[in-house]
A = this chain, B = another copy of it.
Amino acid sequence: MPLPHEVQTITTDVQRPAAAGTDPLDRPVVRLNHLTALDEAERVALRRALRRTPLLPPYVELLRDAPRDVSFLLTGLACRFRLLSNGRRQITGFIVPGDICDFGFLTGNQTLGQFMTLTNSVAGRVSAQAYLELLEDNPRLMRATLRAAATETAIAQERVITLGSRIAIERVAHLLCEMWYRLDVVGLVSEGDTYEFAVTQAEMGEALGLSTVHVNRTLQIMRKNGIFAMAGGKVTITNLHRLHELAGFDAAFLRPVEMG
């Protein structure tokens, strides 16, 4: 099985000096370090603790085989979703490289809902116990992890706003902005505002509360207006300013703001 996805990701990485290296194992470090500056010992400890999974194909349950581990996504794309009684599926959030898939380990609770890969992906895992011990010994890592959890909440709140008060084109624009920012943090936005986001229009609809057909028509309008382009699972934002305008996007919800 060819892996264009993997290869491309690594390639684009190199072009972006902001990225701290091209090794997927660094992405959790980069991500958490962005939330709270870690010291060298913490960076090394986190990196060493992670064990890579084999390459996971699309549409497999992410946590089934390791429910007691903390799973970071290293490469690819995943999502959290719920199956509803009416047969529908609602994607409640996307998981990008560097993200912790599920924060249930913080409370010892099972998380409601499911997690699955959307593309070829690799995860990095630590046992929950080992990770919790790491947190106890490293307060900055603890703070960064709590902030990551808070960011997840903020993203969910923002999606409530998207679904509650934005029309289709604004929803799509907001999602593309959100992905741009989240992927940029881990160095996965390359020159020309291009990033990997290999979701089908049906999946986009499931995340945005829109039908596939309506997503399709909305994307067409945006393409015709020169706002973005999409090919081979890669998104290129051709008019980032206009995209922000459309989305009413304010990156504040993704950034930790220290108390005054």
Contact = CB atoms under 8 A, between A and B. Distances in A.
Interface of A: 67-68, 80, 82, 84-86, 88, 90, 92-93, 103-104, 106-110, 112-113, 143, 146-147, 149-150, 152-154, 156-157, 159-161, 163-165, 206-209, 248, 252-253, 256-260
A90 B209 contact: no
Contact of A160 (B86, B143, B160, B258): B160
A253 to B, nearest CB: 5
B106 A150 contact: yes
A157 B88 contact: no
A165 B90 contact: yes
Given A82-B157, A109-B257, A164-B207, 5 more contacts: A68-B259, A93-B160, A107-B150, A108-B143, A160-B160
A80 B156 CA distance: 13
A88 B164 CA distance: 10
A97 to B, nearest CB: 21
A248 B209 CA distance: 17
B146 A92 contact: no
Contacts of A157: 80, 82, 92-93, 112-113, 156
A118 B167 CA distance: 27
Q: Sort A-B residue pairs by CB-CB distance and give the 8 closest, nearest first.
A: A164-B209, A163-B163, A156-B156, A110-B257, A153-B153, A85-B248, A107-B147, A90-B161
A150 B68 contact: no
A28 to B, nearest CB: 18
B106 A146 contact: yes
Nearest to A148: B107
Contacts of A110: 257-260
A217 B163 CA distance: 21
A152 B154 contact: no
A80 to B, nearest CB: 8
18 contacts: A84-B161, A84-B248, A90-B160, A90-B161, A90-B164, A106-B146, A107-B150, A107-B256, A109-B256, A110-B259, A110-B260, A112-B157, A112-B253, A112-B257, A149-B149, A153-B156, A156-B160, A165-B209
Contacts of A103: 150, 153
